[in-house]
Amino acid sequence: VKVAALIPAAGSGTRLGLGPKAFVPVEGRTLLGRSAAALAPHVHEVLIALPAGLDLPGDVPGRAVVGGDTRQASVLALLRATDADVVLIHDAARPFLPSRVIRDLLAAVQDTGAATAAMPVADTLVRADPAGDWGTLTPREGLWAVQTPQAFRRAALIAAHEAALADGHAATDDAGLIARAGQPVALVPGDARLLKVTTPGDLLIAQALARVWDA
């Protein structure tokens, strides 16, 4: 079984405000470099979707593909660039990726065909009212926050992407597209360290975490 890691890293990083997010360094290594290095030992190839006109930094293991206007378009470009049987899709924006999560996903995808890292929600959840104040309480029991990596049989995920493209359906992740196609997705325990670096506040947390991670 050939396994490829696919890393969408073509985002502009608007909310962080430091240029293309994948290239932002955290304690001396880029988000992309950290993510790619975590995946490389577990897979046969690493493919990375980059913004048009940018090259892969020399210290990043992998092959570059030009990304699209959305994460979904970037992932489809990556899927079309590999012949692997199984793909592990992981956001460059989640640089702290424990090996245990990768191993669990690769085991789960053999059984289910699709699996994602996810964490049980710990906070109280509320849907705000139109004024932005407390609206409707949503019981958190049984709710999970979905992370990446996510693992799939490539053929099934390409079909789900092409169906979504034909319907004009926009998705925030790939597991959602598989679920939309009526197929099961296993939830594998993720990790608190898999936080997605989105805002300047997240970057501060990532810098603190990097010192522990790299020690």
Q: Please report, as ranges, the residues that interact with ligand C5P according to CB under 6 A.
A: 8-11, 21-22, 49, 67-71, 74, 91-93, 196, 198
User: 52 vs 122, which CB is nearer to ligand C5P?
Assistant: 52
For residue 24, give both structure tokens.
Answer: 């932002």
Which C-beta is closer to ligand C5P: that of 22 or that of 60?
Answer: 22
CB of 89 to ligand C5P, least distance (A): 10
Could you tell me the smallest distance in angstroms from the CB atom of residue 171 to ligand C5P?
12
- For residue 91, the minimal CB distance to ligand C5P (Å) is 4
Which residue number, 13 or 113, has a Cβ lying nearer to ligand C5P?
A: 13
Provide the minimum distance between the beta carbon of 111 and ligand C5P in the complex, in angstroms, as a whole number. Answer: 27
For the CB of residue 93, give the shortest distance to ligand C5P in the complex, in Å.
4
Q: Give the nearer residue to ligand C5P in terms of CB position, either 23 or 108.
A: 23
- Give the number of residues written for the chain: 215
Name which of 50 and 185 has its Cβ closer to ligand C5P. Answer: 50
Residue 195 to residue 149: CA distance in whole angstroms: 12
Q: Residue 159 is encoded by which pair of tokens?
A: 């079909």
